[in-house]
Structure 1
Amino acid sequence: MSYPTPWQGQGSQPQPWQGQSGGSMLAATADRERAVDVLRAGFAEGRLREDELEKRVARAYGARTVGELMLLVADLPQGPQATVALQGPQPGFRPTPPTFLPAPVPVTNGKAVGALVCGLLTVPTLGLTGIPAVVLGHTARAEIRRTDEGGDGMALTGLVFGWLSIAGWGLLILLGLIAATVSSG
């Protein structure tokens, strides 16, 4: 007697994931892509045969609900895992498994924001905020490399504007010195 694997379901309809009742949330394209990524990782690790991968991928792209996608990856290490609500499960509440959640966004470094603001203010302040932009930009980039915070682009933009304003002031002073030397000689 042959029993269907959990992802095959019975007949053409997949069986609900354990603990779910009723209809499931409709799956988005991003949900399907994440499920396919988990399946491909399982294949790369040798957990799925190629023919099984192809069948599951086809079912993932044809899945209508998140519950169907959960069935496809439930037996893989990166598949859905139930999350516990702080106050216990609410009626009708189904937590989204970590597999289907977006990656957390890193915190933006405050000095990177300061470098960007000072760098952008070099134009209206005629370059007076250039030196703070450079100092904040270098400090922020060092902290970002050390702590994996976000904001490297902001720090770099502040650095570029800061160095441009410093170079502009340096060029202006150099031209002033040349003009003073030429006019006195």
Structure 2
Amino acid sequence: MRASHTDRERAIDVLKAGFSEGRLGQEEYEQRLARASQAQTYADLSVLIADLPQGPVPVPVPAPQPTYPVVPRTFLPAPPPSTNGSAIGALVCGILTPMYGLTAIPAVILGHKAKAEIRRTGEQGDGFATAGLVLGWLAIGTVLAIIFGVIVASS
């Protein structure tokens, strides 16, 4: 595409800015200025100013940082206490007792352990620990009652 007088003037302005900023020496500036005045196409002009900044230098914009509420920690709600793992284990072992009779003993052990930990740490899960204890002791009591009944019946 053919260049207009305005296009040549813009290219000359870029060359002037490059010279005044010290990007071009006197001799090179004069050579490019002469070639810009005689340029016929955009391609002729772009070769002359391709290595010079043309307008404001783009500054990378930093990524926006997430904003958090500026509230002192003392006014924020406390995180909910976690559920005790031993209490969950006691409940699971207690539920599995009818299918696997041997899980009654771990249910009782984990239930007592969970109760002690919950009292000490303030975690949640007291109901789970109690349910595991009840199911474990019921299974153990049932097994003992059956054994006692068999002994009494055989005597």
Give TM-score, length-normalised by structure 2.
0.52
Whether 2:141 is the aligned partner of 1:154: answer no
Structure 2 counterparts to residues 19-168 of structure 1, below 5 A: 90=65, 93-95=67-69, 97=71, 102-125=77-100, 127-168=101-142
Q: Deviations over 1:136-185 (max 9, x none)?
A: 1001100110111221111111001001001110111111111111xxxx
For 1:137, what is the secondary structure of its paired residue?
A: helix
Q: How many residues are paired up?
A: 91
Q: Deviations over 1:93-150 (max 9, x none)?
A: 351746885541112221111111111110111x321111001100110011011122
Output the CA distance in 2 between the equivalents of 1:178 and 1:141: 36
For 1:166, what is the secondary structure of its paired residue?
A: helix
Whether 2:154 is the aligned partner of 1:177: answer no
Output the CA distance in 2 between the equivalents of 1:152 and 1:144: 7
Q: Deviations over 1:38-73 (max 9, x none)?
A: xxxxxxxxxxxxxxxxxxxxxxxxxxxxxxxxxxxx
Q: Which 4+ residue blocks in structure 1 deviate beyond 3 angstroms?
A: 96-103
Deviates more, 1:169-178 or 1:98-107: 98-107
Output the CA distance in 1 between the equivalents of 2:80 and 2:151: 50
**Backbone CA RMSD of aligned residues:** 2.3
Q: Which runs of 5+ in 1 are unaligned?
A: 1-88
For 1:129, what is the secondary structure of its paired residue?
A: helix
Partner of 2:59: none
Output the CA distance in 2 between the equivalents of 1:120 and 1:172: 20
Give TM-score, length-normalised by structure 1.
0.44
Output the CA distance in 2 between the equivalents of 1:172 and 1:96: 65
